[in-house]
Structure 1
Amino acid sequence: MKFPSVKTLAEGAANTIKRFPFEVLFALAGTIAATVRIELRDISPANENWCYRTMMVANLGFLLSLSVTLYAESRALTTNTRLLFRFGAAVIAVGFIFLLNPGERQADYIRFTLLSLSFHLLIAFAAFTAPGHVQGFWQFNKTLFLRILTAVLYSIALALGISAAIAATNYLFNFKFEWDTYTILWTWIIGMFSSVFFLAGVPADFNALDEDLNYPKGLKIFTQYVLIPLATVYVLILLAYETKILVEWNLPKGVVSYLILSYSVFGILSLLLVYPIREQEENKWLKTYTRSFYFLLIPLLVLLFLAVGARVNKYGVTEYRYFLILLTCWLAFITAYFLLFKQQNIKLIPISLCVLTLLTIYGPQSGFSIARYSQQQILVKHFKKYDAYKNGKLISLKGKKIKGIDGSRTVATLDYLIEHYDFNSLQPYFNTDLGKVNDSLSIKKSKWNTGFIVSRYELRDKKLTWVKKQLGLTKYTGYIYNDTIANVSVINEDAQRFYFNNEDGLVNVKGFDYILNLNIYGSDVASTVKEKGMVIKQSNKLQETYNLWINDELFSFDATAIAKELIANKKIAVADTSTNADDVDRPSLNYTIPAQYLTVTKESKTYIVTLVLSGFGFSYDVDKAIVPTQVTGTYLLKKKIDNK
């Protein structure tokens, strides 16, 4: 085997840059933006956001430019026409920097992902827009797929090797290369080396691909003996679950939607990988398997429609539910096409999915417009229920008796709208200029990083806090699980927050047989110690009472009783008060106290159980109501000696 010389490698890189100048420039711009973002981390959120936007544009520009280049080459366009097409693609890509603003709108991350996906799909068929050329289309995408895997392998090997060299110099010569050195190294290798390496392997002779009947033997073995058997097992499990649904006559679980979609993608990918060899005499069974796959997909699609429809009917449309519905419709279309038409063109898969994806991003038919409208209507419905919606504006619910679950659902809807669509989505329902409110909140200093401007995540939280206060919803959270407020009690907005910290860094387990972490999330979470004949189960009610069962013996710990004792004991509070946390939204008094005041012991006929709290936070309002908020701790278990 003859290894290429340095001159050959340099010439190859030069030819690649000459063939793909715009693509390389976009890769360079994205890499520089990523490097700057690393240096600006936690220093300048506004400029950091611009780095994110530049990286997004660079990714989209790279993909769109490559698509245009492939199309122009396949159509043998003149040099000037090619340059015009490339320049137009670059202008379109750069224009997205004014449309995508993830620092303010979480939904823009999804928009970017969809745009990137659609442009990836565009690359798959850009050079094969003319009728026919199905064999060349398959060979082209196989080549790109293998080239991507090779680029990833080479990039990881190169980055690990250089990282090890840097670490060695740190150790041997006492150099001070920090973590950002490694991050920047990986950024440049992934951003530039892998991009140029990948572009160097993009086929240039598209007509020759039509004549290429080569099929990798390893791919055939992997597909026939790994992917297809796995897909078969997968579908049998899903069909068994569907049978269970019909027998029990219950609505399907929400997660089944993702399982069916995963199976569908998995199965279609398997069929695409074996497409060129399906007509070979020894592989005739593949045509039968293909029809069986699409037939078996029909009942699963019905189940998918039911699963998504049930949740849309109850909670409205969100972006993810919108995409699930659209993907289900697309799968139904592809299934019908491959079952009803004998002349099948696999190019239809990326073309139809690319067009569908682009339609979901912007416009009144997009997932974002529909999801935003749906959640706005749900918000209005919540306020209308309590006669707090007049002349198109929301009225404060303060002083009204509303159900806790309704309050939490309303806050959850507000949180969703602010996180995904910022204040703009709520402006129609307020007389106050929310733009000015946003400006006033964004200039405040961060409460977590002294001297820094508030982060975008803190800013979203402050926006939600402001809206909750304006609408009289301060005491409600947005955490809901199975139509109940999930382990979060209602907190009075006037309540004082306390937090007691165990001053002992270690838990003394001397004299006990077992140690078990306190579980405050979820109910009836059971664990079994089979070798000792013990069945241990925990449950709690809104963090207020912690129940532990050992076999049939119950040990109950009242968190509110512990809180009352701490407040009542003035000696502890005065002697051990350490700091008063400066939290504008929720001020908290912090204490560090001896472990004995955060330790409670219970006994039964068979066991002794001690609860040791390492951290205990709660609110205490003017009505002397106590609501635990932050609780961490450990159970110590000891079995009594049987004297019989």
Structure 2
Amino acid sequence: MTPLKKPSLADWSSRLVETVGRFPVTFVYIVLATVHLWFVCGKMSEGDYTCIDFLADLLTLGGIVLSYMLHLFMEGRAGGRRHVVMLSANIVWIAVCSFFACHYPLDGAMTAACIACCVAVAVSLFIVPFRRLGDDRPAIRFAIGFLGRAGLAIAVSGLLFLGLELLVLSFFYLFGAQVSDSHFLYLLVFCFVFLAPTLVVVQTPSAEKNRTPRDWMQHRFMNGVIHFLLLPLLFAYLATLYLYVFKIILEWTLPDGWVSWLVTALMFLSVIVVHLLYPVRFQAEDRRFDRRVLRWLPLVVLPLLVLMTIGIVRRFSDYGVSVLRVYLLAFNVWCYAVCIGLCVTRAKRLWWIGGSFAGALLLLSVLPYNVYSFTCGQLCRDIRSLAEEKGIRHFPMRDAELRQIWEGPEDGQSQLLEDKLVYLYTHYDTTDISRVVDAKAVPMQDFLSGEPSFTTVNDKYYFNIQCSASDSVLGIPKGYAAFRTVRYDYETGFLPCYVKHDTLSVTIPYQYRGRKTADTVRMPVAKLKELNESRIQHPALFYGRHTCLYLTGLTCYEEEKDENGFLSGILFVK
């Protein structure tokens, strides 16, 4: 029996150097992501996360996966072509990240588009490097191995993190050493942003092994997982749903909307099983049961998708349109396409399943007319229609029309209209809302609380300033050395406002050169009224003793004290 060779430091060093030479851009992104997140941790106490920070995080973290995929895809190709592809892809990724950073903080539509782009990059890791091979076994085997390597890397990084955290706390308790409050974040970034991806990349098999078809079903462990865990769970889902079909047929009722979630879980599990059973197509031995499952599973799942369709349509009928329901309906259509495609192609190739999912998500989220814009338009049409049934003819609605809705007789239509207004306020900005509601005349918190207080709202004593900062050129005031964005609202916490001697005073806390301090910015009420009454509101400058506020948003009452003030802008510090 040959004894195992004990790994030496030289072996580990040579392997690391070899891996860095194989994935150089990936390691550059790993180092940049770690350094920048450390920098963000250092200023976390200031609460100042800017669009530049968002750009750096999205660019480096997404670039790790993108460059890893490109290195795998271009292995073995000519050096010049490899460099051109890598450079072009990274330029495109920088442009995409810059686009999202220009719209930071992201609204709902931009968040969905950003997530769709990240999902597309992640899915491409398991498709693009293996697209030209004869079958999908190497891609599926790489995906299984990648998940195993990622799980192992996370476990090792987690153990190291706990060990280092215990060591740092020991210095604090045993020796009285001063430990920064942010040390926890520094260790977290090192272990899970630097170490974990490094371990995954270092364990990557060679290009030859990655592209060699191998049968994972020959391993006893994987065979047991497939036949004694996943398949029994799949059959339990199928039995439950078909029993539910018989139940609703006997009772002659519509399916409950919640059934959509069980069908969704069934569909994902079916896709996983189809991928894991894929090697039986190439095995000489007779595995009749596995072949039948692979052949007939899509056909058995297909009728159950009708349950999901009916449940979604019922949700639309009862509650109307929403972003989640539109995505769920699109997912239902994708499920039909997958099942029909598997039946037609007999599961000869599977790469198109993940590719179509990522492509559909991009089409629904990235285009100018997307799920969010469709939902907003439909909601506005529904609100106008329901409001017209209540006798309202003036749009956009102001407090008088909304008071008529809230104070009118309680019925299903009134509640539905209120729900749609609340949904519109919580998911869209004032530009979208202004088509049906005059957002300047109605406090947002009235909708969020569900208890409107229109009787106390008077336009004369209420400021609702939402400036269009994107159309303005920001000039840095003379004598100011630093700046930071400020935002106080119902999500981050309100800011107290005081009115005295026709001046609104707001005390804004901030941190400068490691020292926490605060300054009072004074805003003349006359200037605020002028902004409030302007049809097109532009940002304005207001000064404190040591600061200058570039105001982009203000919502408060003109009273002696308002504890629930909303404020946003850019604070310049001397």
Please, what TM-score do these two structures have when normalized by structure 2?
0.71
Could you tell me how far apart the structure 2 residues matched to 1:30 and 1:410 are?
46
C-alpha distance 416-438 of structure 1, shift in aligned 2 (>3 A): farther
CA distance in structure 2 between the partners assigned to 1:19 and 1:41 by the alignment = 35
Indicate conservation of the 8 Å contact 1:317/1:370, yes or no. Answer: no
Alignment check: 8 A CA contact 1:136 1:206 kept: no
Find the partner of 1:113 among 91, 99, 115: 115
Structure-to-structure mapping, 1:529-568, within 5 angstroms: none
Residue 83 of structure 1, CA deviation: 1.9
Aligned pair partner of 2:494 in 435, 447, 465? 447
Q: Distance in 1 between matches of 2:112 and 2:286?
A: 44
Indicate conservation of the 8 Å contact 2:234/2:269, yes or no. Answer: yes
Secondary structure of the corresponding residue to residue 269 of structure 1: helix
State yes or no: 1:5 paired with 2:8. yes
Does the 8 A contact of 2:495 with 2:563 survive in 1?
Answer: no
Aligned to 1:332: 336
**Map of 1:583 onto structure 2:** 563
8 Å contact kept, 1:125–1:347: yes
Q: 1:245 aligns with which of 242, 245, 248?
A: 248
In structure 2, the residue matched to 1:402 is 408
Q: Equivalents in 2 of 1:114, 1:50: separation in Å?
A: 21
Whichever residue aligns with residue 94 of structure 1, its letter is: I
Task: Report what 1:62 is aligned to.
Answer: 64
Counterpart-to-counterpart distance in 1, 2:272 and 2:12: 34
Instruction: Name the counterpart of 2:166.
Output: 164
Equivalent in the alignment of 1:274: 277
Cα deviation 1:127-180 (Å, max 9, x = unaligned): 122251323223222222222122122211221221222222222212233552
Using a 3 Å threshold, how does the CA distance of structure 1 residues 438 and 387 change in structure 2: closer, same or farther? Answer: farther
Match in the other structure for 2:312: 308
In structure 2, what is the equivalent of residue 146 of structure 1? 148
What CA deviation, in whole Å up to 9, does each residue of 1:531-552 have, x standing for no partner?
Answer: xxxxxxxxxxxxxxxxxxxxxx
- Aligned match for 2:360, one of 332, 356, 361: 356
* Structure possessing the higher radius of gyration over alpha carbons: 1
Cα distance 1:130–1:398, how it changes in 2: closer, same or farther (>3 A)? closer
Q: Provide closer, same or farther for how the CA distance between residues 384 and 344 of structure 1 changes in structure 2, counting only shifts above 3 A.
A: same
Out of 434, 437, 457, the residue aligned to residue 466 of structure 2 is 437
Asked if structure 2 preserves the Cα contact closer than 8 Å seen for 1:388 and 1:395, the reply is no
Give the CA deviation at 1:220: 1.2
Counterpart Cα distance in 2 of 1:389 and 1:6: 79
Q: How big is each residue's C-alpha offset from its partner over 1:419-474, in whole Å with a ceiling of 9 and x where there is no partner?
A: 43322322445778899525799766953698448xxxxxxxxxxxxxxx99xxxx
Q: 1:297 Cα deviation (Å)? A: 0.8
Aligned-partner Cα distance in 2 for 1:166–1:321: 48
Distance 1:314 1:285, change over 3 A: same
1:117 corresponds to which letter in structure 2?
V
User: For the Cα contact (< 8 Å) 1:63–1:116, is it kept in 2?
Assistant: no
| 1:224-623 alignment, distance < 5 Å | 224-277=227-280, 279=283, 281=285, 283-342=287-346, 344-364=348-368, 366-390=370-394, 393-396=396-399, 397-400=401-404, 401-404=407-410, 409-429=416-436, 437-438=466-467, 447=494, 451-452=508-509, 583-584=563-564
SS of the residue corresponding to residue 345 of structure 1 reads coil
Structure 2 contact 280–291 (Cα < 8 Å) conserved: no
Answer whether contact 2:257 2:314 (CA < 8 A) is retained. no
Structure 1 length-normalised TM: 0.64
Q: Over aligned residues, Cα RMSD in angstroms?
A: 3.6
Looking at structure 2, the residues matched to 220 and 185 of structure 1 have their Cα atoms a distance apart, in angstroms, of 38
**For residue 87 of structure 1, what is the aligned residue in structure 2?**
87
| Secondary structure in 2 matching 1:360 | helix
Structure 2 counterpart of 1:84, one-letter code: V
CA gap 1:182/1:343 in 2 versus in 1, 3 angstroms: closer
Instruction: Quickly say closer, same or farther: Cα 1:315–1:211, change in 2 above 3 A.
Output: closer
Higher relative contact order (CA 8 A, sep 6+): 2
- CA shift at 1:305, angstroms? 0.4
Cα distance in 2 between the residues matched to 1:410 and 1:54: 42
**Deviation per CA, 1:96-141, whole angstroms, max 9, x where unpaired?**
2432546341444433332222211111111122251323223222
Say if 1:294 and 1:420 are closer, same or farther in 2 by CA, change over 3 A. Answer: same
Amino acid of the structure 1 residue aligned with 2:59: V
Deviation at 1:65, TM superposition (A): 2.4
- The 1:423/1:82 distance shift into structure 2, 3 A limit, reads farther
SS in 1 for 2:239: helix
SS in 1 for 2:263: helix
Any gaps of 5 or more consecutive residues in structure 1?
454-468, 471-493, 495-579, 587-644
SS at structure 2 position matched to 1:393:
coil
**How far apart are residue 363 of structure 1 and its match?**
1.3
Q: Deviations over 1:576-598 (max 9, x none)?
A: xxxx9952469xxxxxxxxxxxx
Matched residue SS, 1:252: coil
DSSP-derived class of the 1:583 partner: strand
Please state how far the C-alpha of 1:79 moved relative to its aligned partner. 1.9
What SS does structure 1 have at the residue aligned with 2:563?
coil
Please give the per-residue CA displacement for 1:235-260, whole angstroms capped at 9, x wherever unaligned: 21122222222222333223221111
Cα contact 1:60–1:115 (8 A) shared by 2: no
Query: SS where residue 466 of structure 2 aligns?
Result: helix
Please tell me whether the aligned partners of residues 31 and 55 of structure 1 are also in contact (alpha carbons under 8 angstroms).
no
Q: Deviations over 1:261-308 (max 9, x none)?
A: 111111221231232246453532011123342232122100000011
Q: 1:327 & 1:157 partners in 2: Cα distance?
A: 38
Distance 1:116 1:142 in 2: 20
- SS of the residue corresponding to residue 198 of structure 2 reads helix
Letter in 1 for 2:268: V
Distance 1:284 1:133 in 2: 21
Output the CA distance in 2 between the equivalents of 1:41 and 1:444.
Answer: 17
User: 2-side partners of 1:203 and 1:211: how far apart?
Assistant: 13
- What corresponds to 1:194 in structure 2? 196
Compared CA separation, residues 439 and 415, structure 1 to 2 (3 A): farther
Percentage of pairs with the same residue: 17
